[in-house]
Amino acid sequence: MSVCARLRTPASRLALSASTSARVAFTRQGIAALRAASTTVRSASSSVARAPRPFEPLTAEEEEALEADEAIDAPEAPIPFSKIKDAIHPDTYTALTKEPFKYHNMSSVQAAVLDMLPDLAAPYNRHAARPDGETKTAPVQHRDLLVKAKTGTGKTIAFLVPAIEARLNALAAATLKAEQDSGMKGDKRLLRNAEEAYARKNVGTLIISPTRELAIQIAAEALKLTKHHQHGVHLFVGGESKGRQLGGFERGRKDIVVATPGRLLDVMESVPGIIESLANINTLVLDEADTLLDMGFRADIEAVLKDLPPVPKRQTFLFSATVSPAIRDIARKSLDKHHTFINCVKEDDSPVHAHIPQYVTVLPSATQQLPHILNLITQDQLQNPGKSKVMIFCNTAKMTALLAEMLRDLRASLPQPRTMLYELHSGVTQNKRRLRSDDFRNDKSGAAVLITSDVSARGVDYPNVTRVVQLGVPASPDQYIHRVGRTGRGSNLSGRGDLVLLPFESAYPTRCLSAVPLQTMEADKVAEDNLVLASKFDSDPKAFFKGVDLSLPPRTPNRGGRFDRFQPVVQGPRVFPKDAQDRLQQMDDVIKNTLDRQSPTDKREAFAAMAGFYVAVKDDLQLSGTRMYDSLRDMYTGMFDEEAPQLSDKLKGMLGFNKKSPPIRARERSRDRGFSPRGDRGFSPRGDRGFTPRDRGFTPRDRGGNNEWTSSAPKRYGERSSRSFEDRGRDDFKSFKPRRVPQRPPVLVAPGLRPYPTPALKMDCEPENTSPHDAASKQKRVAYVVSEDLVKVASLLPSNRFRSALVHQLVAAFARERPGWIRIIRPTAATAKDLLTYHDMEYVGLDLSIIRGFVLGDAPQASRFGVQGDLQDTRSISAELGLEDDCPPFKGLPAYVRMIAGASMTAARSLRDNESDVAICWDGGRHHARKSRASGFCYVADCVLAILVLKKINPRPKIMYIDLDLHFSDAVSEAFVSTSTSTQPTVLTLSIHHATRGFFPASELSGLTSVDTADPFTISVPLERGASAKSYAHIWESVEEVKAAFDPEYVVVQCGGDGLAGDPCAVFNWCIDVEEKGSMGWCVGRILEWKSKTLLLGGGGYNHTNTARAWAYLVSVATGDPLPVGTDIPDHRTFPQYQPSFTLDVPADDPYYRKHEG
């Protein structure tokens, strides 16, 4: 029987692998046979006097012995895949050589790795003897690989083929065991069922990739390679629905899993059964290992390794472009000591592909930067007519977005005015990133440009890229190498690299890129050559495109005139329009008009982001902080022809832009310094487990490593247990079990469940196609602001985890029983321009981005903004922004700020535009955030921003702000305080709250307002402990008098629920019944009776079920038809949380409050 025939049966396949003798590749004869592979194969058990430990320095004798045995010459001819035909499964060979790959020859790394088959894929044999002194009684298995290979050399196929073969061997062993146990030999149905059961239970191969884009690319390659095997390939990456990923994983075969470290560790720690599936994996692949370590994923990798089978039972492949000390250290921990080292990079090799011409251009000033970029694109389109495919790398996401916006306006000046432009950076959603990446990969228009940040720099394969342009110095020399590696990949040996610098960056090539064969190119020379080529094209366009296939049809739009995003890119190249030379000569005028149209906010944000980036490379440029700052301002002025914005002296000091403050230095963050770098997962302080707002009555309690909010006071009626999500309503809330890593974002999707709370958020009550209430009727038009995205980000707030979901679920449950009850308005996230109407630019444009990347462990984001440093630096920046103590940074903070601000502003606009009479936004009401810092659980001043939206009316209306929260509205009151009684302010603030020594917040305005000295438009009414409905009824007559005197057109009410009975703060004894004078419902009802338009915002409230009851009740009050407080809670997903009463009421009947009633 032939080898191929034997491979078709599981038993024979297993026997073949088990009976294979020792590899000849580890002998002198074997190495001589592998000379054509252009590699150096180094076995850890080489035949020398003493086998050294991996990466241990070798003695002279050992070096001489290794050199004599293992020196390999470069191949003179490529090696065909037919050489390994008998060593792999026929279906795998068919996929490689026929459909879908149609490969003929192997690359050097593929030849080196695949030539070790089938032994490389042989199952682990625990009975194989190990070397004992100088005696070797049996061959040692060499299953683990450390491979050093350059990017773009076919590494993916090199590790996928042996991984698939190892999986096939494992499946063969499982079916053989099932056949032996059952005694039913030859039963095909039994064998098929046994294989399927094993494949569904155990993961075969786990591949860890540093970036989402590379992981998606590897998964796509795996799907094609296993096309004839019908294996299951699963992807775990961030930015996409975890529920969808988990659903596919649990339903199908688990042959191959491709993951990024953050998402992988997330599902391993939060989803039961994942670790069990990984307990018997055959192969672990660490792809781009150097990048994994550079991005701060070392701790993640070590954490994952703890839950995987140990070596040598687990086979591990480690692929890296370099073998640094850090790679050697991780290799010691992940590889078997009897591993094989394959070096596919020659000692004299250039760091990048030597055949790619690379040029550096130092422009005289930033004024020529944009024209030169256009000239480089023009040159590529004229030199590669019908084949141009350019990638432009920028250093920050803000600069990438701004350049893409400008090029959209400027592409009319290019030889092909309909050039396809693609924009890719971290600010683009994952779904759009994948679609745009696929579109650019498949683009055949002959004139395509991808403007991207470093999300596309490593490992991502874009075929036929003709040129890579880098704007500004890269973050590191390695980053330059990875960027240039996007062109000249695989069999395509053509390409070009261009590095565009300014005078202050001119020292970088000599200092950091001395090993790169860079040639100098003058900008004027490029422009002159373009005019010559354009003139040649205009004289004879057809001859210019001679040899270009123009037969592909154009991409056609749909009936609406738009291109279907799911339609494959099949547009073929087209001849350029004539008069290309004239368009080039008019380029300067077009650029000036384009710059004038750019948003000032976008330009300032790009400048702030670039300032953060250049902090990290300042030493490489040999510039002082002041000179660097001046150079950045000159760059801004030259690029946009306007004065550059100024950074504050304090911020410049923090960033190292002056001589007095040292720059932020890069240091390795380790656990013993208080940090646990978790890649993209978040901040993990070892000592302080949670938040300690003691003045609010909260203390953190730790049960088995899980943060839980508890009250220092005895529990009151209706108080929700801190473990209610686990102990109550298990069927509905099994996705909310406490997690092992408390600092990470909550799990909103659980296996087997639909995303929570998505089902209820598509409220059946939502009258999308119904008209609003008649303005002439007694019932007011009520707008309710909610969306799925809003609930998801609002539920991340550390002080109120999942409260938003609880509130909106209850409102939706009541709304389903009352059609037309409210009108849903979906909010839009606030832009930077919106936030800058109140907040400082440093807080919005730069500092939050720094904190997001630095404190949350997002290494790419941190390096993008140039922030690197130790724990002391982090605390300094965090304290400056107020991101500490009760306002800790958390994953998703920037999205939270934009969405909460946008929700409150959306509600205010609905009132301003006369679309509603009452607008409700329960996720707003953050009344402690200041202009440049967070405070008191509040990260954004949405109350102030909403008021500013209402003020944008001519003539300016009078706005009255009433705060019913337990805590004083210090930030809102201070934002609109007036220092002169002679002025006529249009905003009056009135806060009814508790105030005593040591109670948050400590503000000079929180005391009782004095008629003689205070601002009459900033009113404070402090109440003693134990205040109840009687207290509010007693003061309400004064509130009515203030309203009558001020006569506002708009009223903004902050309805904080932390003063309700049963709240953990345990200060007030307030109830909600509208029938009881002075209750929350009664007070809000009286406000709604005024002739003013009303905006209802949320706020505090730490008994989440009572707060949900109160706000759902206020919705009914706003509609003019209050629900009885004894109304039963409707049946819905969160119903179990409302025990024991299961009614809407929050009664004030606690004897403790009665005794201390104020």
Using CA atoms, how far apart are residues 434 and 454, in angstroms rounded to an integer? 15
Q: Does the structure show a pLDDT above 70 at 23? A: no
Co-location of 1103 and 1049 in the same domain: yes
Q: Decide the pairing of beta strands 823-825 and 145-148.
A: unpaired
Beta bridge partner(s), residue 40:
343
Co-location of 30 and 58 in the same domain: yes
Asked which of 58-72, 611-625, 847-861, 1135-1149 is least confident by mean pLDDT, the reply is 58-72
Instruction: Work out the end-to-end distance of the chain between its first and last CA atoms, rounded to an integer number of angstroms.
Output: 96
**Minimal CA–CA distance to 729: which of 646, 802, 672?**
802
Q: Does the structure show a pLDDT above 50 at 846? A: no
Task: Spell 255-291 as b/e; 16+ CB within 10 A means b.
Answer: bbbbbbbbbbbbbbbbbeebeebbebbbbbbbbbbbb
- Burial of residue 702 (CB within 10 Å: 0-12, 13-18, 19+) is exposed
72 is a domain residue: yes
Residue 722 pLDDT: 34
Of 150 and 923, the one with more pLDDT? 923
Mean pLDDT of 1128-1132: 89
> Across the beta sheet with 145-148, what order do the strands follow?
40-43, 340-343, 145-148, 315-320, 283-286, 205-208, 256-259, 233-236
- The pLDDT tens digits for 404-440 are 999 998 988 898 888 999 999 888 887 888 889 888 9
Residue 552 pLDDT: 58
What tokens appear for 220 in the block? 């796509």
Residue 553 pLDDT: 55
Co-location of 336 and 364 in the same domain: no
Mean pLDDT of 115-119: 90
452 is a domain residue: yes
Q: Does the structure show a pLDDT above 90 at 1158? A: no
pLDDT band, very low/low/confident/very high, at 521 (cuts 50, 70, 90): very high
Residue 1105 pLDDT: 94
Q: Does the structure show a pLDDT above 50 at 68? A: no
Mean pLDDT of 556-566: 44
Mean pLDDT of 303-307: 90
Answer for the pair 455, 429: CB distance below 8 angstroms, yes or no. no
Q: Does the structure show a pLDDT above 70 at 667? A: no
35 is a domain residue: yes
Where are the extended beta strands (E) located within 816-868? Answer: 823-825
Using CA atoms, how far apart are residues 63 and 56, in angstroms rounded to an integer? 12
- The pLDDT tens digits for 1004-1030 are 777 776 555 456 788 999 999 989 999
Tell me, what CATH number does 562's domain have? 3.40.50.300
Residue 1012 pLDDT: 52
Residue 185 pLDDT: 80
Q: How confident is the prediction for the chain on average, in pLDDT?
A: 76
- Report the domain count for the chain: 4
Q: Does the structure show a pLDDT above 60 at 907? A: yes
Q: Decide the pairing of beta strands 233-236 and 205-208.
A: unpaired
φ/ψ region of 271 (left if φ > 0, alpha if ψ in -120 to 50, else beta) reads: beta
- The pLDDT tens digits for 713-740 are 333 333 333 333 333 333 332 333 333 3
739 is a domain residue: no
Residue 141 pLDDT: 67
**Minimal CA–CA distance to 49: which of 133, 123, 110?**
133
Q: Is the dihedral of CA 82, 88, 89, 91 positive or negative?
A: negative
Q: Which residue has the tokens 């560790």?
A: 265
Helix axes of 893-912 and 942-951: crossing angle, nearest 10 degrees: 30
Co-location of 586 and 607 in the same domain: no
Using CA atoms, how far apart are residues 793 and 1127, in angstroms rounded to an integer? 30
Q: Which of 593, 611, 643 is the last residue of a domain?
A: 593
Number of alpha carbons in the 13 Å side-chain half-sphere of residue 1060: 30
Answer for the pair 823, 916: CB distance below 8 angstroms, yes or no. yes
CA R_g for the chain: 33
Mean pLDDT of 215-241: 90
Q: Is the dihedral of CA 76, 81, 85, 89 positive or negative?
A: positive
Answer for the pair 767, 825: CB distance below 8 angstroms, yes or no. no
Of 880 and 327, the one with more pLDDT? 327
What tokens appear for 250 in the block? 């649990």
Answer for the pair 926, 897: CB distance below 8 angstroms, yes or no. no
Using CA atoms, how far apart are residues 1125 and 718, in angstroms rounded to an integer? 14
Co-location of 263 and 368 in the same domain: no
Looking at the chain, the whole-number percentage of residues with pLDDT higher than 90 is: 34
Mean pLDDT of 1061-1082: 92
86 is a domain residue: yes
Q: Does the structure show a pLDDT above 60 at 1157? A: no
Using CA atoms, how far apart are residues 243 and 735, in angstroms rounded to an integer? 11
- 85: how many CB neighbours lie within 10 A of its CB? 15
Co-location of 243 and 370 in the same domain: no
Co-location of 885 and 795 in the same domain: yes
> What is the phi/psi pair of residue 917, to 5°?
-100, -30
Using CA atoms, how far apart are residues 471 and 358, in angstroms rounded to an integer? 14
Using CA atoms, how far apart are residues 676 and 972, in angstroms rounded to an integer? 37
Residue 1141 pLDDT: 85
Co-location of 524 and 569 in the same domain: yes
Q: Kindly report the pTM of this predicted structure.
A: 0.47
865 is a domain residue: yes
Residue 1009 pLDDT: 63
φ/ψ region of 936 (left if φ > 0, alpha if ψ in -120 to 50, else beta) reads: left
Q: Is the dihedral of CA 333, 335, 340, 344 positive or negative?
A: negative
Question: C-alpha distances in angstroms, 529 versus 35, 380, 521?
Answer: 45, 11, 12
Tell me, what CATH number does 845's domain have? 3.40.800.20
pLDDT band, very low/low/confident/very high, at 2 (cuts 50, 70, 90): very low
Q: Which of 609, 634, 655 is the last residue of a domain?
A: 655
Co-location of 573 and 610 in the same domain: no
pLDDT band, very low/low/confident/very high, at 554 (cuts 50, 70, 90): low
Using CA atoms, how far apart are residues 671 and 299, in angstroms rounded to an integer? 9
Co-location of 329 and 417 in the same domain: no
- Strand, helix or coil for residue 1083: helix
Q: DSSP string spanning 1032-1062?
A: HHHHHHHHHHHHHHH--SEEEEE---TTBTT
DSSP code, position 362: E
Answer for the pair 576, 536: CB distance below 8 angstroms, yes or no. no
DSSP code, position 947: H
- The pLDDT tens digits for 942-996 are 999 999 999 888 778 999 999 999 999 989 988 887 644 445 678 999 999 998 8
Q: DSSP string spanning 1085-1104?
A: HHHHHSSSEEEEE----SSH
C-alpha dihedral (42, 48, 52, 58), degrees to nearest 10:
-80
Mean pLDDT of 246-253: 88
Residue 923 pLDDT: 96
Domain that holds residue 543: 358-593
Co-location of 866 and 831 in the same domain: yes
763 is a domain residue: no
What tokens appear for 1139 in the block? 């025990």
Beta bridge partner(s), residue 1070:
1060
Answer for the pair 759, 1132: CB distance below 8 angstroms, yes or no. no
Q: Does the structure show a pLDDT above 80 at 779? A: no
Co-location of 92 and 182 in the same domain: yes
Q: Residues, the chain, total?
A: 1158
Q: Which residue has the tokens 């985890």?
A: 801
- The pLDDT tens digits for 75-85 are 446 789 999 99
Q: Which of 570, 593, 616 is the last residue of a domain?
A: 593
Q: DSSP string spanning 687-725?
A: S--S---GGGTEEEEEETTEEEEEESSPP-TTPPPTTHH
Residue 877 pLDDT: 60
Q: Does the structure show a pLDDT above 90 at 662? A: no
Using CA atoms, how far apart are residues 411 and 405, in angstroms rounded to an integer? 10
Using CA atoms, how far apart are residues 619 and 469, in angstroms rounded to an integer? 23
176 is a domain residue: yes
